[in-house]
Structure 1
Amino acid sequence: MLLWLNGPFGGGKTQTAYEIQRRLPGSVVCDPEHVGFGLHRTLRMLPPSLRRDFQDLRAWRQGVFEVLDLALTRYHGTVIAPMTVVEPVYFRETVGRLREHGHDVRHFALLADRETVLRRLRERGIGHLVGALAGKQTALRRESFAVSKLDLCLERLRAPEFAEHIRTDRISVPQVADHIAASAGLTLAPNTDGALHGRLRRAWTGVKHIRFD
């Protein structure tokens, strides 16, 4: 089974993915953004005016399909893919194509009010500090990109083709994970984190996924 966690940038996809992975033995996170990392570097060969979002490249959609198809065919545990995809054509070429090949794909769009997502992006401000210490501004640029795409993401993801929708404004990351597991017929281990331990765990997950390129 594949759990594809969609949502706006800063919507909690990565945190939820690793919460599920932590509490579901045998599960694995396969982040489609890693396919984009190499393509992002490749795009640097082009003049700045020709560089674009790596999702616009057919190579990214094909690569995501091939990697997840391999994982779902050869691996016997649950595969979790946290990735924002709001272009309907790109969605059909990834999620839709995997379904056409017979894979059990459960898609969830994690939605929240605009103000909630903006607050979460501000809370990721540790990335700005780490980036500044490293002498780079990539973290800041990524947050700016996330804000610039926020309204489009929230509008597109409300469409029926992007269901199942989960409102995350008033529930915690462990509760979002519980909702997804129940909908997919999976059983998670109990969440034994206290409030402080949970916040520290999620902060560390965020730090580990800061990009500097």
Structure 2
Amino acid sequence: MIVWLNGAFGAGKTTAAYELLDLLPGSTLYDPEVIGAGLRWMLPKERLGQIADFQDLRSWRRLVVETAAALLTEVPGPLITPMTLLRREYRDEMFGAFAARRIPVRHLLLHAEEPALRARIDARAAADGGTTRAWCLGHLHPYQAALPWITAEAHTVNTTHLTPRRTAERLADAIRAGEGAVDIVQTPEPTGETVAAGVLLFDDRDRVLLVDPTYKPGWEFPGGVVERGEAPSVAGVREVFEELGLRLTGEPALLVVDWEPPHPPAFGGMRLLFDGGRLDEDDAAALLLPSAELRGWRFVTEDEAAQLLPPNRLERLRCALRARRSGHPLYLEAGVPTGCRHLLR
């Protein structure tokens, strides 16, 4: 198990983590800062100059997960992880990867009021010569901006007037009570190429429905991996029902077949998009969301989708919309129609 202690710089995460080691038998301190320090030493300065924080490195986020999984083969756990995590898409990526490895996560927020945070930051600056003061103060605004999504998920312990020991005692009580459990349903990571089927659903304004997964960054189309022996169109219909509670009638029309090349560590594979038709207001109002997989849905225009989808999914959507208008499905390789490049203009 991972006990992820989130919070602003100065909230007392590290000091509480050391105290928590005494209260949770078998626990081990796991500090992802060490991984960041190693990457700073190994990566060329040109790459480091492209990022503002080591959390922006895809390698750091992957190594945090892989290292935790490796540690849990050596120690019983839990791993106490004091780490500020303010980017929701990074949370989705890492917590989803933990779920795929069947590693449960407890997300706990150590919150302190801003005057207390500033006082602690100043005290730390006095001890280290002020080298971290500007960095810590610069993260107060992003922390406040991230509080709505963090508090919606994490169990909060207000540390404003607590000693590190008392904070750790409250954390231990919360963990024993099952607080902060991150419920993500995620299949194990693939070991080879996969076939996945997505279904595009539209409203009466021809906006397309996107869903917001809890287990990976970015928005997505309803759908999922085709199971062994299952037809892709059947898989798409099944996933729409499992994810949204919507039973599609009839066979969805194929819009796009896209070969996604491997980009290690991802294996790639075939990605299909089907036309699930229009939803009326009653259908849309009846949509259900499994909180362990999806946190939201919305109908969007193509321009709005460009702000939500990762580049490969966006290109796939654009081609699917063009195929829908023309009435002819498209075959793509890496998001580009073979022999039909003029359709992208």
Q: Per-residue displacement from partner, 1:83-120 (whole Å, max 9, x unpaired)?
A: 01110111112223213322121110111111110111
**137, 141, 144: which one aligns with 1:151:** 141
Of structures 1 and 2, the one scoring higher in RCO (CA 8 A, sep 6+) is 1
**174, 182, 197: which one aligns with 2:173:** 182
Gaps of 5+ in 2: 178-345
1:211 aligns with none
Q: Going by fraction, where is helix more abundant, 1 or 2?
A: 1
In the alignment, is residue 94 of structure 1 matched against residue 84 of structure 2? Answer: no
Larger radius of gyration: 2
2:57 aligns with 57
Kept in 2: contact 1:43–1:51 (CA 8 A): no
* Counterpart residue type for residue 65 of structure 2: F
Q: CA RMSD in A?
A: 2.1
* Counterpart residue type for residue 27 of structure 1: S
Deviation, 1:44, is 5.5
1:83 aligns with 83
Q: Per-residue displacement from partner, 1:18-74 (whole Å, max 9, x unpaired)?
A: 011134342210101111002223456218853431110100000001011122344
Cα distance in 1 for residues equivalent to 2:74 and 2:160: 36
Gaps of 5+ in 1: 130-139, 187-213
Cα distance in 2 for residues equivalent to 1:121 and 1:79: 26
Cα distance in 1 for residues equivalent to 2:93 and 2:13: 20
Deviation, 1:173, is 1.5
The TM-score with structure 1 as length reference comes to: 0.74
Kept in 2: contact 1:65–1:94 (CA 8 A): yes
1:158–1:171 CA distance, 2 compared to 1 (3 A): farther
Identity over aligned pairs, percent = 32
Moved more, 18-27 or 5-14: 18-27
SS at match of 1:158: helix
Cα distance in 2 for residues equivalent to 1:19 and 1:153: 24
Q: Going by fraction, where is strand more abundant, 1 or 2?
A: 2
Kindly report structure 1 stretches of 4+ aligned residues shifted beyond 4 Å: none
Kept in 2: contact 1:6–1:110 (CA 8 A): yes
**Pairs within 5 Å for 1:101-112:** 101-112=101-112
Deviation, 1:166, is 1.5
| Matched positions, count | 176
